[in-house]
């Protein structure tokens, strides 16, 4: 049913630490690998070794250059995937009921048996979380590895999303953001985690932890006085003469 549940018992989601993400794309690869073999239609590629290589991915890592007013620019790696919104517009627009949000844990899923591949849910999502699989003709999205997190066949440490399990820098955290005492909720409170595009009114569950503020360069270098190089010789003479001109 594409009516959203008025309340979910849990709000399972991800917390992504932009301070520690190094942009290695291991989460992208792990996600593609896991979702190629289990839940629903495999994530297909079209001409993967051709000129116009293209494929379905549920996770993409962007890199941004962010320029503060008075400091050098920073490079920030930015993984982007489904935010499992509380007010998910992708669910309500679905004409067939294929797109749904689970009342028990808040995960947004697609029932591929009912998906007609109209693409309207992908249009309704501000975050680009959904990609149509061109081979299967159905909409694919992050399942929060619903086939891992409850899977008792797996060792306990593997019962988390593939992207979280694989992240070599621990930049991805998984848990219940509806429980204020959970590890992820405490992390968000501590680091002032934020939601993406709040003006879209989707109430995302996932949170992003902002990069920690960098040291200010003038405070950073103890060698600063020695780095004030004085020009000598002809350059020094030019420096002095030119400096005197109006």
Partner 1 sequence: MNPAPSVIVFTVLSGMGFGFLALLGLFGVQGWLGFFFWGTGFGLAVAGLVASTFHLGNPQRALRAFTQWRTSWLSREGWAAVITLGLLAPQALSDWLGLGWGRGFGIAGAVGCGVTVVCTGMIYAQLKTVPRWHHWTTPAVFLAFALAGGLILSGVRGLAVIALCLLGVLMAVQWFGGAGRFARAGVTMESATGLGRIGRVAVFEQPHTGGNYLMREMIFTVGRRHAERVRMIAMVSGGLLPVVALVFVPGVAGIGLAAVTHLLGAFAHRWLFFAEAEHVVGLYYGRR
- Is 184 strand, coil or helix? helix
Nearest approach, Cβ of residue 176 and partner 1 (Å): 22
- Is 163 strand, coil or helix? helix
DSSP state of 173: E
Query: Of 56-64, 159-167, 181-189, 220-228, which segment contacts partner 1 by CB under 8 A?
Result: 56-64
Q: What are the C-alpha distances in Å from 159 to residues 54, 59, 222?
A: 30, 19, 47
* Binds partner 1 (CB under 8 A): choice among 39, 44, 78, 146: 78
* Binds partner 1 (CB under 8 A): choice among 22, 75, 183, 203: 75
Does residue 123 bind partner 1 (CB under 8 A)? Answer: yes
Provide the mask over 191-220, with x wherever binding to partner 1 is found by CB under 8 A and - wherever it is not: ---xxxxxxxx------x-xx---------
List the one residue out of 207, 161, 186, 196 whose CA is nearest residue 32: 161
Does residue 237 bind partner 1 (CB under 8 A)? Answer: no
Task: Tell me how crowded residue 96 is: count the other CB atoms within 10 A of its CB.
Answer: 13
* Binds partner 1 (CB under 8 A): choice among 82, 115, 149, 184: 115
**Angle 64-140-42 (CA atoms, 0-180°, nearest 5)?**
110
Nearest approach, Cβ of residue 196 and partner 1 (Å): 6
Task: Tell me how crowded residue 6 is: count the other CB atoms within 10 A of its CB.
Answer: 6
* Binds partner 1 (CB under 8 A): choice among 124, 146, 154, 187: 124
Q: Give the tokens for residue 168.
A: 């070599």
Binding site for partner 1 (CB under 8 A): 1-3, 18, 28, 52-57, 60-69, 71, 73-76, 78, 80, 89, 91-98, 114-120, 122-128, 131-132, 134, 136-139, 194-201, 208, 210-211
């Amino acid at each position: 049913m594409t009516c959203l549940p008025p309340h979910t018992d849990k709000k399972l989601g991800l917390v992504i630490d932009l301070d520690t993400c190094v942009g290695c794309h291991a989460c992208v690869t792990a996600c593609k690998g896991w979702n190629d073999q289990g839940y629903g239609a495999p994530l297909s590629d079209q001409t993967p070794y051709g000129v116009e290589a293209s494929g379905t991915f549920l996770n993409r890592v962007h890199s941004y250059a962010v320029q503060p007013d008075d400091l050098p620019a920073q490079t920030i790696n930015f993984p982007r995937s489904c935010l499992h919104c509380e007010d998910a517009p992708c669910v309500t627009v679905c004409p067939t009921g294929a797109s749904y949000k689970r009342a028990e844990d808040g995960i947004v899923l697609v029932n591929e048996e009912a998906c007609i591949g109209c693409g309207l849910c992908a249009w309704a999502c501000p975050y680009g979380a959904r990609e149509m699989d061109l081979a299967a003709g159905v909409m694919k999205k992050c399942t929060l590895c619903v086939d891992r997190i409850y899977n008792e066949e797996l060792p306990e440490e593997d019962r988390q999303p593939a992207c979280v399990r694989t992240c070599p820098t621990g930049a991805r955290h998984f848990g219940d953001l509806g429980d204020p005492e959970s590890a992820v909720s405490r992390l968000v409170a501590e680091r002032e985690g934020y939601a993406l595009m709040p003006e879209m009114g989707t109430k995302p569950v996932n949170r992003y932890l902002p990069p920690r503020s960098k040291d200010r360069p003038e405070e950073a270098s103890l060698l600063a006085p020695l780095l004030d190089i004085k020009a000598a010789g002809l350059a020094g003479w030019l420096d002095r003469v030119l400096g005197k001109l109006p």
